[in-house]
């Protein structure tokens, strides 16, 4: 009889303890897991991606002294001197006039090559930037050179109106071509020029297949660089 009472007493104590535990610790909500099928990938919500532009990832050349910046491909090494060629001087502008006192700012050589046996004997595609504060240069900035009577067309580059002049010359089986974009800003004449210069000499052993097309591609790249020019103000 005593054993039965003891068992009932133990049973009641267990019931009381369980009740105390449930009263003291609220129930924890169940977490629902969704099984993933074997071989099936999970995906996140797609995010907006910035539109890729020709100059995406390019370096930025910024000149705070003259208040402008321009972008260029990472493989290009800007130069503060202008290389002289047979038909292209190292002056601040391709068709400058005598006694001009402009400043060479930067050159961006896109592609240069020289050879003593293959075509082309030499070639350079580049972008040059020059500036002049000379009053005569400023007054004639948006006019054609008196030595080269050519007409200009307007070109808007990042909100600024430029006057675009063709550059063309040839002699002794060599040539110069391109565009000179010029504008007056803060009392200064800016010349941003897309240039190509080279030799068109070919002998019977020269292989020219696809070469001209490749050289044209390098020259066209210059226009992509010119289009990134902008004033800082």
Q: Model's pTM, two decimal places?
A: 0.74
Whether residue 198 lies inside any domain: the answer is: yes
For residue 138, is it within any domain? yes
**Which pLDDT does position 101 carry in this prediction?**
86
Count of structural domains, the chain: 1
Position 14 in a domain: no
What was the pLDDT predicted at 29?
Answer: 37
Domain that holds residue 79: 59-231
Question: Is residue 42 included in any domain, yes or no?
Answer: no
Angstrom distance (rounded) from CA 230 to CA 186: 14
Q: Residue 180's domain is classified under what CATH number?
A: 3.40.1000.10
233 residues of the chain, pLDDT tens digit each? 555 555 655 555 655 554 544 444 443 333 332 333 333 233 333 333 333 456 678 999 999 999 999 999 999 999 999 999 999 999 999 988 777 789 999 999 999 999 988 899 999 999 999 999 999 999 999 987 766 667 889 999 999 999 999 999 999 999 999 999 999 999 999 999 999 999 998 876 666 668 989 999 999 999 999 999 999 98
Q: How is residue 110 written in tokens? A: 């896109």
Residue 26: predicted pLDDT: 42
Is position 200 within any domain?
Answer: yes
For 46-62, what is each residue's pLDDT tens digit? 333 333 456 678 999 99
pLDDT digits (tens, 9 = 90+) for 192-231: 999 999 999 887 666 666 898 999 999 999 999 999 999 9
Q: Which of 230, 190, 194 is nearest to 102 (CA)?
A: 190
- For residue 49, what pLDDT is reported? 33
Residue 88 lies in a domain: yes
71 found inside a domain: yes
Query: 181 CB contacts (<8 Å, ≥6 apart)?
Result: 155, 157, 162, 163, 164, 191, 192, 193, 194, 226, 229
- Is residue 8 in some structural domain? no
pLDDT at 14: 52
Report the candidate in 227, 101, 88, 91 with the shortest Cα–Cα distance to residue 164: 227
Decide: residue 40, CB within 10 A, 0-12 exposed, 13-18 middle, 19+ buried.
exposed
CA–CA distance from 44 to each of 32, 39, 47, 99 (Å)? 20, 17, 9, 66
């Amino acid at each position: 009889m005593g054993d039965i009472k003891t068992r009932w007493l133990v049973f009641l104590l267990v019931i009381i303890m369980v009740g105390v535990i449930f009263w003291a610790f609220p129930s924890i909500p169940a977490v629902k897991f969704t099984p993933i099928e074997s071989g099936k990938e999970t995906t996140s919500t797609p995010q907006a991606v910035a539109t890729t532009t020709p100059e995406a990832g390019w370096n930025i050349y910024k000149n705070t002294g003259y208040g402008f910046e321009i972008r260029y491909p990472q493989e290009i090494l800007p130069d503060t001197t202008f290389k002289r060629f047979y038909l292209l001087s190292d002056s601040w502008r391709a068709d400058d006039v005598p006694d001009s006192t402009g400043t060479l700012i930067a050159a961006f050589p896109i592609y240069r090559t020289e050879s003593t046996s293959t075509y082309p004997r030499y070639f350079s595609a580049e972008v040059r930037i020059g500036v002049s504060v000379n009053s005569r240069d400023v007054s004639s900035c948006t006019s054609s050179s008196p030595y080269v009577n050519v007409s200009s067309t307007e070109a808007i580059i990042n909100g600024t109106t430029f006057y675009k002049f063709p550059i063309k010359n040839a002699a002794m089986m060599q040539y110069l071509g391109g565009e000179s974009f010029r504008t007056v800003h803060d009392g200064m004449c800016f010349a941003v020029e897309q240039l190509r210069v080279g030799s068109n000499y070919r002998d019977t052993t020269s292989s020219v297949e696809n070469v001209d097309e490749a050289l044209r591609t390098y020259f066209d790249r210059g226009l992509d660089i010119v289009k990134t020019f902008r004033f800082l103000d």
